[in-house]
Structure 1
Amino acid sequence: MFKLKFTALLLSAAFCQTLLAGDTEFLNYAKDRVASATSIADRWDGPTEGPLAEPSKKIVFVASDLRNGGVNGVAQGVSEASSHINWELRFIDALGSEVRQGAALRRAVAMKPDGIILGGIDIKHHREALKVAKKLGISVVGWHSSDSTEGNEELGLFANITTDPMEVAEISALLAITEGAGDMKAAIFTDRRYSIATLKANVMKKTVEKCSRCLLIDYFDIPLDQVANHTHKVVQTLISDEQVTHLLVINDLYIDFATPVYEQVQSKGMSIPVNISAGDGSMAAYDRIKTGQFQLATVPEPLYMQGWQVVDELNRSFNSSPPSRYTAPVHIITRENVTKLIGKSGVYEPRNNYREAYLSIWLGKSGKGEEQ
């Protein structure tokens, strides 16, 4: 059904042999990358200069699905940031389906706001509506709206906010490889409707293939709005057939709906695969990681911070300034650092005073922000 065939892709007789010299070198590389990505950064490395805030702008946030923790977190960050500069903000929630997303975006364009924010809306599916927005002079900034950290001039996308999806995907796979000591059987879950999700899955696949004792047994395309209906069935089959030791997923949502299967399996004394998510970071994921139950790690987006960056990029567009081109560093959340990096809100919060940094730009150097 949702399976994409490249089963038993990797390896020959070398699979069951000892690590080759190249494998040892690669495993050491993986360990170094993972160690760096789990360290805690406390210095602001984003923009320190930019235009003062344009007041009284009308903004529409078009959400792919506000039930998605990533989209919701960015929306909250945008709401918080825009309140400091007197922007009027409205939300349109497409509730998951591509058809509703198109309708929501057309509705937003028809409102003729100063700016539109695409919260998890993939631009490749909405070219015509975006071209209309461009003709109307509406500034558009996206979050996870393409597989690139750049904007798209043709479609009028000023900037696309995301951590580097290639780095996120690679570090997720490297963590799995180090956890398995270079010996694992992995399955990948993705949603091919989204460019960024497809890119992440492909990078995870290629990273696994660099490890000669690691086997990629399957690749599953399960749309995020159908996760509840299909994930548990696929996971149950993988466990029953003893096919998998590690699950690499592009969103914590897959693990949410695999958890009931794991609870049943655990009660029977059967092995549970190691679960690692390449984004976006959810409260349920952090709870699993804290307790060591059913999830080893996630590679989250700093959602509130990215919401503030979305506002900053829109303001740059309003002022005919170039985008900041800032990309947040990639961090892995594990049991060792989860309590230090996850705030009371249940969102990954870098301890870098980003609020103060952005307010200093928008309000002038005398503008004061307070880290929450």
Structure 2
Amino acid sequence: MHRSRKADAPRADRVGRAGSGALALLAIAATLAGCQRGSSETPTVPTTGPGGCPAVRAAAQAAVAQAERTDTAWDGPTTGPAAVSGRTVVFVAETMTNPGVAGVANGLREAARVVGWDLRVIDGAGSPAGIQAAMSEAVTLRPSGIVIGGFDPGSTAQQVADAAAAGIPLVGWHAVVAPGPSSRPPLFTNVTTRVEDVAGISAQWIIAHSGGRAGVVVFTDASVPFARTKSDLITAKLATCAGVRLLAYENIPIPDASSRTPREIASLLARFPDTWTHSVAINDLYFADAAPAFRAAGRKGTGPPFNIGAGDGDPSAFQRINSGQYQAATVPEPLTQQGWQIVDEFNRAFSHRPASGYVAPTHVSTAANSAGATTWDPPGYREAYRRIWGR
């Protein structure tokens, strides 16, 4: 994930919404890592072993091959209510410096123009106080709907309650762990990929790319429940391959990434000069901050370590991937499509219809399949939504 807000560890009920399979993987991760919050956490249980996990590797290769396809057809909604008119939506952003949040806002702006709605973006600037102030302003404006853009609704519980009391529907983007409607907090729906799918394919990419033998460093922000859940699921999936060893679990809060990541990279290179082959981060941002440290250490941009971002897929990540500069892959969110989906979900709410239930499938972008693009923009959704809306 990609938030700059500090939060409490995830509650059991929130993790539970990720599904029983995710719970099982989390149990494995807890056994594997045994980690507490800190700057660098190294598991005490080794995960190396003979054989390189041929069955797990074969399954990973098949999953990655499917996820790397770019010719998939639109699998989202094709029916729904025609667009209502004269609506105003406020997008409350965790911070517009977050490329994921900004990308969704741009998609929302594009779709709002199509249906003729007014859109206002209020930037929370990445701090709890700023986000609370932004949400208060949004509720005061009494819009038709409010988007919770990339932050935990629990941090603005009073404002969320005020919106509910005023009858203003809320749609989240990465607001809670699971996609779909939520009663606590009260969201008409939450637009996101499934965290267990993103975590799983990120780990499978490492297993497939390494041939089932890798030394891995995981980068996360354990202060954010969504991010901690994702990184725990990644470590659990990596643990299913006996030939993969988790070298370190780096807890670096996103607001501190620019200052701390270069120092941690230098330390990791000193500790694991030959065994560190792959890295995975809950957000591409970490590799933007890591690149100068790799460069200073004389490491080639094409690896090792081979780095994959488990989320966002912002333009800078694609640029690093396409130019071979210290990132090999990303699991991008279809940010523009998700902005269009938010408009469609609001339109369903305004029309007293249920949420669409759509969840975008995971995708893996590499230099081989991105064709020089700087975003993952799957085909077909614009035409589908226009037909639904009558636009």
Fold similarity call, TM over 0.5: yes
Q: Secondary structure at the match of 1:231?
A: helix
Q: Is the 8 A contact 2:300 2:326 kept in 1?
A: no
- The residue number in structure 2 matching 1:253 is 285
| Cα pair distance change 1:6/1:238, threshold 3 Å | closer
- 1:17 counterpart (50, 54, 61): 50
Q: Is the 8 A contact 1:185 1:215 kept in 2?
A: yes
In the alignment, the residues of structure 2 paired with residue 138 and residue 156 of structure 1 have an alpha-carbon distance, to the nearest angstrom, of 11
- 2:296 counterpart (264, 282, 288): 264
- The residue number in structure 2 matching 1:184 is 214
- The residue number in structure 2 matching 1:164 is 194
- The residue number in structure 2 matching 1:354 is 381
- The residue number in structure 2 matching 1:152 is 182
Q: Secondary structure at the match of 2:298?
A: helix
- For each residue in 1:107-147, what CA deviation from the matched residue of structure 2 results, as whole angstroms up to 9, or x when unmatched? 21122111001111222322222121111100110111111
CA drift at 1:197:
1.5
Give the number of equivalent residue pairs.
353
Q: Is the 8 A contact 1:9 1:216 kept in 2?
A: no
- 1:309 counterpart (334, 341, 358): 341
In the alignment, the residues of structure 1 paired with residue 267 and residue 338 of structure 2 have an alpha-carbon distance, to the nearest angstrom, of 37
Q: Gapped runs of 5+ residues in structure 1?
A: 368-372
- The residue number in structure 1 matching 2:352 is 320
Sequence identity (%): 37
Q: Is the 8 A contact 1:116 1:141 kept in 2?
A: yes
In the alignment, the residues of structure 2 paired with residue 182 and residue 357 of structure 1 have an alpha-carbon distance, to the nearest angstrom, of 40
| Cα pair distance change 1:136/1:40, threshold 3 Å | same
CA drift at 1:192:
2.7
- For each residue in 1:317-359, what CA deviation from the matched residue of structure 2 results, as whole angstroms up to 9, or x when unmatched? 111100001011111001110117x3xxx321112x2111111
CA drift at 1:264:
1.1
**Between 309-318 and 144-153, the greater mean CA deviation after superposition:** 144-153
CA RMSD, Structure 1 to Structure 2 (Å): 1.9
Q: Secondary structure at the match of 2:160?
A: helix
- 1:37 counterpart (44, 50, 67): 67
Letter in 2 for 1:360: R
Q: Secondary structure at the match of 1:3?
A: coil
In the alignment, the residues of structure 1 paired with residue 265 and residue 325 of structure 2 have an alpha-carbon distance, to the nearest angstrom, of 16
- The residue number in structure 2 matching 1:298 is 330
- The residue number in structure 1 matching 2:149 is 119
Letter in 2 for 1:59: V
In the alignment, the residues of structure 2 paired with residue 267 and residue 31 of structure 1 have an alpha-carbon distance, to the nearest angstrom, of 27
Q: Secondary structure at the match of 1:336?
A: coil
- The residue number in structure 2 matching 1:202 is 232
| Cα pair distance change 1:194/1:265, threshold 3 Å | same
| Cα pair distance change 1:271/1:88, threshold 3 Å | closer
In the alignment, the residues of structure 2 paired with residue 10 and residue 314 of structure 1 have an alpha-carbon distance, to the nearest angstrom, of 48
Letter in 1 for 2:289: F
In the alignment, the residues of structure 1 paired with residue 51 and residue 186 of structure 2 have an alpha-carbon distance, to the nearest angstrom, of 53
TM-score (norm 2): 0.86
- The residue number in structure 1 matching 2:39 is 3
